[in-house]
Amino acid sequence: MNYTLHQLQVFVKVVQTQSITKAAEELFLTQPGVSIQLKNFQDQFDIPLTEVIGRQLYVTDFGKEIAELANEILDKVQAIDYRTAAFKGILSGRLKISSASTGKYVMPYFLSDFLKEHPGVDLTIDVTNKSKVIQSLENNEVDFGLVSVLPDRLKVDEELLVVNKLYLVGNKDHMPKTAKETKEIFNQVPMIYREQGSATRLIMESFFERTKIKVKKKMELTSNEAVKQAVIAGLGYSIMPLIGIRNEIYNGELQIVPVAGFPIMSDWRLIWLKNKKLSPLAVNYLEYVRTHKADIINKSFSWIDLAQKAHKH
């Protein structure tokens, strides 16, 4: 055996993407370059690692086992780099965060300056829905999760970040003619939902259940952006976090519908497993958040209160 770290990296990426084309794109290599490295790696084994049926690449069971071992080797090599940097007094390592999808409008502001201060830190963020965030925490795959609704069963510690305000919104050209500050409006408008497992979906359903409101469900979409575009197109209305529709409100593509009981309030919070022994990097990041949170909110999120005041007037 005479494989290289580069070949391991290429093979792992091919296994992850199930595609030479996608692996080449993510590694910033040419397709022929990836194909050559993959062939040179596979030729060192008597048992096939991958096979191509039609135009689809499949990873064999043996290939999956080798990919797991390759991942472990690459992690160890990365750990050597981090330990070397730490010995020099440089904060380094990989910070892993799983964020609910709308959290992409929150998390970058709590990371930007930290990463600038510590260039030796690598960041991995998985943007998904609340259910998968909780699953990642349960499997101990990440340091932190970002959610707007706390999990029911999982014991976690938390750090509040910023308020989350949700409003009923619609296309300004398709607003109900009889819109008043009353919940009766839900009898008039078709509602667009997020998918099951979404925190926004959970907040919506909890609101309707608590207020005993029956709604006309129009459709279900799997991302905040998809819901936003559907509402802009006039396909229906939705309850959406203000933090994800700032530009659309300001440029007039979306309009807040005045309804009693809104905004619905929750909080964006960083969570981690209770009693989890955080890495030195995770501890350092948590301390950074606690120290700089007020400044970050004032600098990047003060517009939320201004938008609410403008809506009331």
Task: Kindly state the DSSP code that residue 195 receives in the 8-state scheme.
Answer: P
Do 93-162+267-312 and 163-265 share a fold? Answer: yes
- What's this model's pTM, rounded to 2 decimal places? 0.68
The pLDDT assigned to 197 comes to 80
**pLDDT score at 211:** 84
Domain 163-265 annotated CATH 3.40.190.290: yes
**Which pLDDT score, from 0 to 100, does residue 174 have?**
62
Phi, psi of 147, deg, nearest 5: -140, 160
Show the low-confidence residues of the chain (pLDDT under 70). Answer: 82-83, 85-90, 174-183, 305-313
Position 181 scores a pLDDT of 46
For tokens 């990296």, the residue is 9
Q: What number does CATH give the domain 5-87?
A: 1.10.10.10
Name every residue whose Cβ is closer than 8 Å to that of residue 298 and which is 6 or more positions away in sequence. Answer: none
| pLDDT at 259 (0 to 100) | 81
Q: In the numeric block, which tokens belong to residue 250? A: 């300001």
What gap in Å lies between CA 241 and CA 227, rounded to an integer? 11
- Model confidence pLDDT, tens digit, residues 185-210: 777 778 899 888 888 888 888 888 88
Please report the pLDDT score of residue 176 as a whole number. Answer: 58
The structural domains of the chain, with segments of one domain joined by +, span 5-87, 93-162+267-312, 163-265
The pLDDT score that the predictor gives to residue 60 is 92
Q: Is 119 exposed, middle or buried (0-12, 13-18, 19+ CB in 10 A)?
A: exposed
Architecture of the 93-162+267-312 domain: 3-Layer(aba) Sandwich (3.40)
Helix (H) or strand (E) segment spanning residue 154: none
- Which residues is 239 bridged to in the sheet? 168
Provide the token pair at 49: 């690692």
b/e burial code for range 21-57 (CB count within 10 A of at least 16 → b): ebbbeebebeeeebbebbeebbeeeeeebbeeeeeeb
d(CA 109, CA 267): 16
Counting other chains too, the contacts that 56-61 makes at CB distance below 8 Å and 24 or more residues apart are 56/18, 57/14, 57/18, 57/19, 57/20, 58/18, 59/14, 59/15, 59/18
pLDDT, residue 178, reads 52
- Cβ atoms of 302 and 310 within 8 Å: the answer is no
